Amino acid sequence: MEHLMNKNVREIQISGIRKFYNLLTNYKDAISLTLGQPDFNTPEHIKIAAKAAIDNNKTIYTPNAGLAELREAASQYFKNKYLLSYNVDTEIIVTNGASEAIDIALRTILEKGCEVILPGPIYPGYEPIIRLCGATPIYIDTTNTGFKLNAAILKEKITDKTRCIILPYPSNPTGCILDHEDLTEISKLLLDKDIFILSDEIYSELNYKGKHLSIATYPGMREKTILINGLSKSHSMTGWRIGFTMAPEYITKNMIKVHQYNATCACSISQYAALEALVNGIDDAAPMKIEYTHRRDFTYKRLVAMGLEVVKPEGAFYIFPSIKQFSMTSFDFAFKLLDEARVAVVPGDAFSNYGQGYVRLSYACSMDVLKEGLDRMEGFIKKL
């Protein structure tokens, strides 16, 4: 009865990142530079709070939007960090990771016939949901603008069907961020347009250039922005599954319905852990950020020394060198590198067709692993 599967679901592909990760299991001696999760443990004080939640039987349903005290803590945290202002009772939802936040946001605003603009190369978590809604992803090529979206290239793609623009900065897979000038221009362009912005700021704590800026703080943008954040990257809590949506009440009151029928609420134990993270672990990401900065600098230098063209990342923990000079597809390059030199990287086309000709390396691994991986990669490239 497979023909009875929903057509939109049938047509979705498993993520290229996962596909490559699955291949990796056949190469036990490979160094993996593929991972999208921090290599730090969740801070001890957060784990203690979670254990206390279990011991105190805080193991029951919470309100759909999440514990009131957690929403309060989130509201304070995002205000202190990025000058964002969201009402605790009507504008914040605690979700199962940023992934569920993306899902409920897009399912709330999209329908058949809409278009969603995405700057490519981009994280592959948006397109499948856009397609499940019957909407159409419209990619913008950012490979000629240092992987940054700008108002001029955005303007060209806006039509009367555009319902939403995804702003995924700091970016996975390129490590790019948008600065004040970029955000000013983009917000001016969008000011008089009825288009939503889905701003995925999950890497906001990992900005190596300065303070993270959110589009929602620019004139007129708050009313049309759904902001997504979470604790997966900032507090090294990928497995706890805590994310947030922050959006004006008219959007949140609709998103909460999708969230309610989908998940009821995020895991109560994780919510207590998140509360501890946001109250007593405000700067837990700071030491991680220092370490990532060293690794970023090291990786960038090594790739440049190998003769690769590469944009220096300013955030997240990925770097996205071009491999176009070798006249191979991203997949062929990545597969050969794995097979011959035992280093795994992610083929760039996992991040849309505009990633073809690139590979993604993650430096969320120890310096020793990174050094060994880059040594092997250098030896491999010398022989090409």
Ligand X SMILES: Cc1ncc(COP(=O)(O)O)c(C=O)c1O
Catalog residues that contact ligand X under the rule CB under 6 A.
36, 97-99, 123, 125, 168, 172, 200, 202, 230, 232, 238, 243
Contact 42, 241 (CB under 8 A): no
Closest contact distance (angstroms) between CB of 96 and ligand X is 7
Backbone angles phi, psi at 337, to 5 degrees: -60, -40
Cβ distance to ligand X smaller for residue 99 or 260: 99
Cβ distance to ligand X smaller for residue 230 or 281: 230
Closest contact distance (angstroms) between CB of 46 and ligand X is 15
Cβ distance to ligand X smaller for residue 231 or 303: 231
Closest contact distance (angstroms) between CB of 304 and ligand X is 25
Closest contact distance (angstroms) between CB of 4 and ligand X is 30
Closest contact distance (angstroms) between CB of 332 and ligand X is 25
Q: Identify which of 288, 291, 312 has the alpha carbon closest to the alpha carbon of residue 367.
A: 291
Cβ distance to ligand X smaller for residue 41 or 56: 41
- Token representation of residue 204: 């906001």
Closest contact distance (angstroms) between CB of 197 and ligand X is 15
Spatial strand order of the sheet with 346-347 comes to: 318-319, 359-362, 346-347
Q: How many CB atoms lie within 10 A of CB 378?
A: 16
Closest contact distance (angstroms) between CB of 364 and ligand X is 10
Cβ distance to ligand X smaller for residue 341 or 365: 365
Cβ distance to ligand X smaller for residue 86 or 317: 317
- Tell me how far apart the alpha carbons of residues 249 and 89 are, in angstroms, rounded to a whole number: 9
Closest contact distance (angstroms) between CB of 383 and ligand X is 32
Cβ distance to ligand X smaller for residue 18 or 157: 18
> Which residue of the chain is nearest ligand X when measured via CB?
97
Contact 118, 137 (CB under 8 A): yes
Closest contact distance (angstroms) between CB of 16 and ligand X is 13
Closest contact distance (angstroms) between CB of 296 and ligand X is 16
